[in-house]
């Protein structure tokens, strides 16, 4: 079943990334910004343990579907971040 929410998740990409302390902030192509407290999400422990210098070395995959940290050899797909957020 194809829902509007899943279609939006598939079409939205990241355009920018920054951190405020242990909060990951991601700007999205539709104008929204989402934030995640990385030290409170178990599957982001690798990013919570990274240094500020390592966190700053991110890149976007084509279309902004994912954020990747080459030095950490890991990344996050935007759709996973969006599924954590309540949809209003």
The domain limits of the chain are 4-84
* The residue to which tokens 């759709």 are assigned: 79
pLDDT tens-digit readout, 40-52: 999 999 999 999 9
DSSP helix/strand/coil, 63:
helix
Is 4-84 a CATH 3.20.20.150 domain?
Answer: no
The pLDDT tens digits of the residues spanning 26-77 come to 999 999 999 999 999 999 999 999 999 999 999 999 999 999 999 999 999 9
Cβ pair 38, 48 in contact under 8 A: yes
């Amino acid at each position: 079943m194809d829902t509007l929410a899943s279609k939006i998740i598939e079409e939205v990409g990241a355009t920018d990334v920054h951190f405020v302390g242990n909060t990951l902030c991601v700007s999205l192509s539709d104008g929204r910004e989402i934030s995640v407290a990385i030290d409170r999400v178990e599957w982001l422990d690798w990013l919570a343990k990274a240094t500020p210098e390592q966190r700053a070395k991110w890149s976007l995959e084509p279309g902004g579907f994912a954020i990747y940290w080459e030095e950490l050899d890991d990344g996050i797909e935007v759709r996973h971040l969006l599924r954590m957020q309540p949809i209003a």
